[in-house]
Chains A and B, each alone.
Chain A
């Protein structure tokens, strides 16, 4: 993509949130977009037409992150109420609530098969929750972080978390290894490149760090 193709114009403004918007996520094919914010709601939009489709209300505090399954059937969201909500997109009902984080939940992601929700919390842990079974306990707690985990990424075989302790930790399920990349600066957000070869980490020293994996 050359620089000329990059978007330069504001296509639409999605108005509706009453308060700060804390996260906005596209769905898998980019046709829809989800946003969540301090007004304790999650909103589903069609960003291309600027339409507000649905509002999901159930969170007790601000909603910090939201993620949607590749088949657009389920949502997961998390926020200041220390819970992860697992929603049905069509009905707008909460299917399940996962409690267990000892602090606010910063980020949440589905895995490839949308069978697991991995959440990153202020309690210095990553927790994996099972959407298939009815158990309310996390199937795994990763607590090797030494500070609040701000963001999480999931590949087919890995869970990657970025933390305020300055580390980006990659948990490879396939070989059972944890690779900790210490960046020396608190990591606020990490994001995978589309080919999965790089991680872009935004740090609190006003720098973006692109990590080759």
Chain B
């Protein structure tokens, strides 16, 4: 179509398309018919009947005239309220020329008037004038308290006189007197004291004048003696001693107008009040009656509170006592001031506030207030970084060994807290003490039951930690020091040993436990401490006392004992299968009992249990494994459905969109509920902190991602350690079930158990087992979040474990080297790279040797940096493959480039499988290109350069995160990668499968 039109030549004007015209007309019509009205005035455009924009205002330019094409103004037309002229007749305004002038005209006019420019305003007259004008203007604009024009004397010049300016430039400061710079410090102090005294003692203006006069004279004498040459100009700078209005008279009212003697009297009395000599005498009276100073108001009788001496009971006496002479008082201030100044000088030296002295006896008893109660739902936002006490010197001689308390739970709790405190620092102890003040279990923190034991334990834990630290500092673990295994630690903590391989024989038990873990956890969540009184009455195996005994032991272990014994001592004679069956039996019975008690109908529950046992139990004994499974399903059926409630915080936006009021409106932090049940478990006592934990975990999820991954790879040592602390935390609420969660299935045990489970049990149980494993990881995760929540920094995990991981990684590199070499050979063969192989200065074998050497070096120096070593190996290989030119500096250069590409492709994680696959495909494509001609090689290089930026960004990401993927990918050279991509694809597929299953 377009090509057709190009061929034609058009003459004349084309006929307008009808739709264009009509649309324009339509628009015009629509606007005319009222659409215009909807637009705000500044958006409206003037258009003609054809809908075209009208241009007007040719001289001023533009499409708009007036005020947005109106004759209005910004203010618009505002109707004024009617004002009666009758009332406001007096307000006849004097019209001046200024009331008829515009702003600019006024400014023009103002320019004509004569005045000193501010530059030459020596005495500040012009500035004062301007300030006055300004004040007048302001006066007009806003109504002030004092109506009328501002009196001139109020308005002070805004600028300084030139003298002041000069003085300021010379270093004079306001409020200082003008004197020599080498001022005597004694004089200074005296002057200060005087000023302070003035401000302190002077009360009303007259008195001040008199006072200051006398004092001034006094002071002058005083000053003259040490430094006669000094220029004293304290008059030059006004000392503004403010007179606070202390009486209750009206402003400006002088009660002593006609009786100045009274004024004198009052002044003296007030100064008496202040005078330390007299204060003692008067304080008693003053304290109660204020300014009356012990005198009762005439004619008002005696109040209940007023205690009067016999001499004071002169009811008819007037306010003021005339008998006292004031002769003494007149000369008093001067002498007193002398004393005062001296004293002040002395006190000044002591560092007491100027003008004050330390009270010998404070008659003011400060009222003590209790600290405010922190509300229960208070969520602390500020976190204080507590000092880590890891470096803290642990005293060698600890507190004496104390026998643990009888209560096993308490003991475990104490152990746990001690470990945690040793790890997290003292702050943790403080916090937990604060939190669990009311909890009787935690009385050991407050010095109650088991405190001694706790102190001992804490010391032990600290020492252990210090040892560990030392141990780490040594670098290599000295072989003499035995590594702290789970068993040895268990021994230290007084735990029962874990059941190990014996458990493998009865996998159903293990798996069922892993299932029960979930239930138990949730049970713990819904009803804490329900099991303590539980299994005392119910005896479902009455007919078989031995079995009943075993059952009771089982119950005890299930709910109280923490860890299971290796085997039922009473059931030695039973076969493995029988034991397993019995175990299941017990589990079922326990479940039933628990259910019964939860329903608070013990009678029916016992019935129910017996009933259950008659049905289910018979099946156990008679039936095979399939039936066991069935009954198990039955059990789970009886557990469900189950309802739990959590707090959930809808986002404000969601509420808005659902048109609902945000239930959490106004409550500051978002409080979503915890992610894992372990979290809830631990923090059930106070949900507030749990919320906080959740928050922090949410915040730090990214940062946790790496440790979490690490945790998978890192040796058991670490996980053990975390579990240990985890146990401690968990003790807070209910120790048993989490213990089970953690200890019942060790990872090695799990691996053994799972295949058999798969055969026998439901496939979902595997998921459950995985869940428990995941939970355990989360426990580690949680611990860090706990640390964050407490504002503590957890001490870093022992580096030797990670070292080990790193070492293993480098080991892997070595393992992969042969494969690498092979690749090299393979790549050397094809005709595409013949020139490479022929011109390359290093033959493969040499290269291989070099690699090995490099590896060895890496292993020695930086074992953690395993993957960098790997990538370097890969880079060497690939560079060799890539080198079309042989000159060595080019090799080096290309090395770098290839490296970057290598990085970019290798650091992509599994989620980016697809991309890498695509990349590899591109590589393949490119590879053929580069062989066919050299120009494409240039292009290729430039491309890689472009990608370098990206790759460097990726480099900055933690290399550890991807260490696993490095394992198989980074070694793959870009040319080989299409071969590798097949593998990758299949791998990713498998991974996906795994995820789905």
Contacts of A171 in B (CB 8 A): 648, 650
Contacts of B673 in A (CB 8 A): 144, 178
Judged by a CB distance under 8 angstroms, whether B663 is at the interface is yes
B905 smallest CB distance to A (angstroms):
23
Interface string of A174-200 (1 = CB under 8 A from B): 111111111111000000000000000
A115–B654 alpha-carbon span in the complex (Å): 10
- B655 close to A173 (CB less than 8 A): yes
- A184 close to B660 (CB less than 8 A): no
- B637 close to A156 (CB less than 8 A): no
A104–B664 alpha-carbon span in the complex (Å): 32
Q: With A157-B658, A173-B654, A178-B648 given, is the CB distance from A146 to B641 under 8 Å?
A: no
Tell me the A17-70 residues at the B interface (CB within 8 Å).
none
- A174 close to B641 (CB less than 8 A): no
A181–B522 alpha-carbon span in the complex (Å): 12
Partner of A174, one of B639, B645, B663: B663
B16 smallest CB distance to A (angstroms):
29
- A184 close to B653 (CB less than 8 A): no
- A184 close to B643 (CB less than 8 A): no
Partner of A140, one of B645, B651, B659, B771: B651
A112–B673 alpha-carbon span in the complex (Å): 26
A130–B657 alpha-carbon span in the complex (Å): 8
Contacts of B639 in A (CB 8 A): 184
Q: Which of A112, A172, A182 has the most CB of B within 10 A?
A: A182
Tell me the A132-163 residues at the B interface (CB within 8 Å).
132, 139-140, 142-144, 146, 156-157
Q: With A139-B654, A140-B653 given, is the CB distance from A181 to B643 under 8 Å?
A: yes
Judged by a CB distance under 8 angstroms, whether B646 is at the interface is yes
Q: With A140-B650, A140-B651, A144-B675 given, is the CB distance from A181 to B657 under 8 Å?
A: no
Contacts of A142 in B (CB 8 A): 648
Judged by a CB distance under 8 angstroms, whether B958 is at the interface is no
- A182 close to B647 (CB less than 8 A): no
A81–B654 alpha-carbon span in the complex (Å): 25
Contacts of B647 in A (CB 8 A): 176-178
Interface residue tally on A, bucketed by range: 20 to 34
Q: With A111-B657, A111-B658, A184-B637 given, is the CB distance from A176 to B650 under 8 Å?
A: yes
A182–B640 alpha-carbon span in the complex (Å): 6
- B664 close to A176 (CB less than 8 A): yes
Contacts of B522 in A (CB 8 A): 182
Judged by a CB distance under 8 angstroms, whether B644 is at the interface is yes
Judged by a CB distance under 8 angstroms, whether A94 is at the interface is no
Judged by a CB distance under 8 angstroms, whether A14 is at the interface is no
Judged by a CB distance under 8 angstroms, whether B649 is at the interface is yes
Partner of A181, one of B641, B648, B660, B661: B641
- A116 close to B650 (CB less than 8 A): no
A115–B657 alpha-carbon span in the complex (Å): 6
Judged by a CB distance under 8 angstroms, whether B808 is at the interface is no
Contacts of B663 in A (CB 8 A): 173-176
Q: Which residue of B lies closest to A133 (CB)?
A: B653
Q: Which residue of A lies closest to B646 (CB)?
A: A178
A53–B142 alpha-carbon span in the complex (Å): 72
Q: With A130-B653, A130-B657, A176-B663 given, is the CB distance from A144 to B646 under 8 Å?
A: yes
A212–B930 alpha-carbon span in the complex (Å): 69
Query: What would be 25 A-B contacts, judged by CB atoms less than 8 Å apart?
Result: A112-B658, A113-B659, A116-B658, A128-B657, A139-B651, A139-B654, A139-B657, A144-B646, A144-B672, A144-B675, A146-B771, A156-B658, A173-B663, A174-B663, A176-B647, A176-B648, A177-B646, A178-B648, A179-B646, A180-B644, A182-B642, A182-B643, A184-B637, A184-B640, A184-B641
Q: A140-B654, A178-B648 known; 7 other A-B pairs, CB under 8 Å?
A: A128-B657, A144-B673, A156-B658, A182-B642, A184-B640, A184-B642, A209-B641
